[in-house]
C-alpha cells in the first residue's frame, strides 16, 4: 500500500478557489480525514485525488507514482460515496462484481472475490437481494465491498455515513475503522462531523475555505488547536474576544466584560493585544466557594445560571458580570455535589488550558 502525497494542489471553479494550494503527506496505511464545514473543499480535493476532477498546478502521487492526468480507473482507487451509488437493478453480488467485470476478471475469480469482500463487510447470505431489500447500513456495506473488491491502492470515502441514523453511524464508523486496520489500506475519509473525525482517524486535516488550517492527531487538534477556527470547529469551547491587560513573568491577564482571565505567556501575547480566548468546558473545575484550588490554576467566582443533568455529566452555565458566561462540564455528577441555580461557586482552570489567538494577525 502506498502513501499519498498532495503537493500544492489548487482547484478553481471560475473565481472560486475550492482547493487553495493544498499540500498533505499521508502515510502508508494511514486513516486520514478531511474535516471541515460544508463547502470548504473536501469533496473537491477528494475528487482531484480520485481523478474525477483535474486540478491546476501541483502534483498528486501514490507512493512515488504520479497519478495526475491518469484516468480514475487506472489510479487504483476505491471510492465510497454518501448516497451509496449502488445500482438498483443489480443484486448485491452483481453490484460487488461490477468493477471486476469491467476489469475483465475471469468469472470464477469474480465470484470468489465478491464473496470474500461480502464476508469482510458481514453481508454473507444477502448475495441475491436487490438494493431496495436492504437497510441503509447494509447498502453502505455493499458500497464498501464494491470499493474493496478491486483491491485498490487507496480507499477514498466521501461522507459515507451521512445518510444513516445516529446510532448506526456510530456503529458503522467502528466497523469501517476495524476493516481499514485489518486491510492496512491507505484511506482518505471526508466528513463534516468533528466527533466522527476524532473517533475514526489516525490524523485529521481541518479545512476552511479551501485551505488546510491544521493537520494533526485527533488529540492534537482538540487540545492544541492552531487557530481560532479549529478551536471553535472541533468540540465545544468557550470563546470570547478579549484584550491583554498585563503580561509579566509566566502570566498574562486578559479582560472581557469586567472578568479577568489568566493566560499562559508562552502563547506569546503582549500587553494591549486583541485576542480570542478558547477554553474547553471540561478544563474548568467547579468548586464550592471555600474549596482550595491547586497551584497553577486561575480562579473565577460566579453564579450558577442553569444546569443540565445528563447522568454521567452535568453541564453548568456560570454567569459573571456584564453578560459573560462560561459553559462548564463536570463529570462529578454525584447527586450530593450538584450545585443549585443561584449558588455562588468558584471556577478554576489550569492556565495553560486557556488558548489564546491573536486577532490583529491574519489567522
Ligand atoms: N462543479 C462545481 N462548479 C462550481 N462550483 C463548485 C463545483 N463543485 C464545488 N463547487 C464549490 O466549491 C466549493 C467547495 O465545494 P465542495 O468541495 O463540494 O465542499 P465540501 O465537500 O467541503 O462541502 C463550494 O463553494 C462549492 O459550491
Ligand atoms: Mg462534500
In this structure, the residues whose C-beta lies within 6 A of any atom of ligand 1 are 13, 16, 18, 36, 38-44
The pLDDT of residue 271 is: 86
Q: For residue 361, what pLDDT band results from cuts at 50, 70 and 90?
A: low
Q: Which residues surround ligand 2, an ion (CB under 5 A)?
A: 43
The pLDDT of residue 363 is: 45
pLDDT single digits (tens) 22-73: 999 999 999 999 999 999 999 999 999 999 999 998 999 999 999 998 999 8
Nearest ligand to the CA atom of 40? 1
Nearest to 161 by CA among 129, 193, 117: 193
Nearest ligand to the CA atom of 44? 1
- Which cell goes with 200? 475514526
Distance 225 CA to ligand 1 centre (A): 25
Mean of per-residue pLDDT scores for the chain: 93
CA separation, residue 290 to residues 259, 299, 329, 344, 347 (Å): 20, 12, 20, 10, 11
Nearest ligand to the CA atom of 205? 1
Distance CA 123, CA 175 (A): 13
Q: Give the DSSP per-residue string, 110-178.
A: HHHHHHHHHHHTT-TT-TT--GGGS-HHHHHHHHHHHHHTT--SEEEEESTTTTS-HHHHHHHHHHHHH
The model's pTM is: 0.92
Q: Is the dihedral of CA 295, 296, 301, 303 positive or negative?
A: negative
pLDDT single digits (tens) 98-135: 989 988 999 999 999 999 999 988 899 999 999 999 99
Task: Using most ligand atoms within 8 A of CB, pick from 15, 41, 45, 204 the residue to mutate for ligand 1.
Answer: 41
Distance 40 CA to ligand 2 centre (A): 8
pLDDT single digits (tens) 185-195: 999 999 999 99
Residues in the chain: 363
Neighbours of 31 (CB within 10 A): 22
Q: Which atom of ligand 1 is nearest to the CA of 190?
A: 21
The pLDDT of residue 195 is: 96
Q: What is the mean pLDDT of residues 321-326?
A: 86
Distance 237 CA to ligand 2 centre (A): 25
Which domains does the chain carry?
4-233 (3.40.50.300), 238-358 (2.40.50.140)
Distance CA 153, CA 113 (A): 16
Distance 227 CA to ligand 1 centre (A): 24
Residues 6+ apart with CB under 8 A from 304: 316, 317, 318, 319, 339, 340, 341, 342, 343, 345
pLDDT single digits (tens) 253-310: 999 988 999 998 866 678 888 999 999 999 999 999 999 999 999 999 999 999 999 9
Q: For residue 208, what pLDDT band results from cuts at 50, 70 and 90?
A: very high
Distance 244 CA to ligand 2 centre (A): 39
Which residue's alpha carbon is nearest to atom 6 within ligand 1?
A: 13
User: Do residues 279 and 326 make contact, with C-beta atoms less than 8 angstroms apart?
Assistant: yes
Distance CA 30, CA 45 (A): 17
Secondary structure element (H or E) that encloses residue 228, with its range: helix 228-233
Nearest ligand to the CA atom of 49? 1
Which residue's alpha carbon is nearest to atom 7 within ligand 1?
A: 13
Strands (E), the chain: 4-13, 16-26, 31-35, 59-62, 65-66, 77-80, 154-158, 186-191, 203-208, 211-216, 238-248, 251-256, 259-264, 274-279, 285-287, 297-309, 314-319, 325-330, 344-350, 355-358
Which residue's alpha carbon is nearest to atom 20 within ligand 1?
A: 39
Cα 132–Cα 135–Cα 139 angle in degrees, nearest 5: 75
Which residue's alpha carbon is nearest to atom 2 within ligand 1?
A: 13
pLDDT at 362 > cutoff 60: no
Distance 91 CA to ligand 2 centre (A): 28
Which residue's alpha carbon is nearest to atom 8 within ligand 1?
A: 44
- Which cell goes with 254? 486578559
User: Do residues 263 and 341 make contact, with C-beta atoms less than 8 angstroms apart?
Assistant: no
User: Do residues 14 and 204 make contact, with C-beta atoms less than 8 angstroms apart?
Assistant: no
Distance 211 CA to ligand 2 centre (A): 15
Amino acid at each position: 500500500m502506498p502513501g499519498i502525497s498532495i503537493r500544492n494542489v489548487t482547484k478553481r471553479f471560475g473565481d472560486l478557489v475550492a482547493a487553495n494550494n493544498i499540500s498533505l503527506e499521508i502515510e502508508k496505511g494511514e486513516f486520514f480525514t478531511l474535516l471541515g464545514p460544508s463547502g470548504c473543499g473536501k469533496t473537491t480535493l477528494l475528487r482531484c485525488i480520485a481523478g474525477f476532477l483535474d486540478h491546476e498546478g501541483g502534483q498528486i502521487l501514490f507512493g512515488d507514482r504520479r497519478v495526475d492526468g491518469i484516468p480514475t480507473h487506472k489510479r487504483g482507487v476505491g471510492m465510497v460515496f454518501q448516497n451509496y451509488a449502488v445500482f438498483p437493478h443489480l443484486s448485491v453480488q452483481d453490484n460487488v462484481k461490477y468493477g471486476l467485470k469491467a476489469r475483465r476478471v475471469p468469472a470464477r475469480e469474480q465470484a470468489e472475490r465478491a464473496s470474500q469482500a461480502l464476508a469482510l463487510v458481514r453481508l454473507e447470505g444477502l448475495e441475491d437481494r436487490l438494493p431496495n431489500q436492504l437497510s441503509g447500513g447494509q447498502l453502505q456495506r455493499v458500497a464498501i465491498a464494491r470499493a474493496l473488491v478491486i483491491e485498490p491502492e487507496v480507499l477514498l470515502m466521501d461522507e459515507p455515513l451521512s445518510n444513516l441514523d445516529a446510532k448506526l453511524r456510530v456503529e458503522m464508523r467502528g466497523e469501517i475503522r476495524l476493516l481499514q486496520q485489518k486491510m492496512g489500506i491507505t484511506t482518505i475519509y471526508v466528513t463534516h462531523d468533528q466527533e466522527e473525525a476524532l473517533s475514526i482517524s489516525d490524523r485529521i486535516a481541518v479545512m476552511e475555505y479551501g485551505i488546510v488550517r491544521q493537520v494533526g492527531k485527533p488529540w492534537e487538534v482538540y487540545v492544541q488547536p492552531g487557530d481560532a477556527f479549529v478551536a471553535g470547529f472541533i468540540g465545544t469551547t468557550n470563546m470570547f474576544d478579549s484584550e491583554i491587560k498585563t503580561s509579566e513573568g509566566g502570566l498574562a491577564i486578559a479582560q472581557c466584560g469586567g472578568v479577568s482571565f489568566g493566560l499562559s505567556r508562552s502563547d506569546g501575547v503582549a500587553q494591549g493585544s486583541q485576542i480570542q480566548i478558547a477554553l474547553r468546558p471540561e478544563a474548568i473545575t467547579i468548586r464550592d466557594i471555600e474549596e482550595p484550588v491547586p497551584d497553577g490554576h486561575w480562579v473565577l467566582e460566579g453564579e450558577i445560571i442553569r444546569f443540565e443533568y445528563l447522568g454521567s455529566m452535568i453541564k453548568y452555565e456560570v454567569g459573571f458580570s456584564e453578560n459573560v458566561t462560561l459553559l462548564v462540564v463536570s463529570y462529578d455528577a454525584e447527586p450530593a455535589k450538584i450545585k443549585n441555580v443561584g449558588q455562588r461557586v468558584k471556577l478554576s482552570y489550569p492556565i495553560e488550558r486557556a488558548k489564546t489567538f491573536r486577532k490583529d494577525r491574519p489567522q
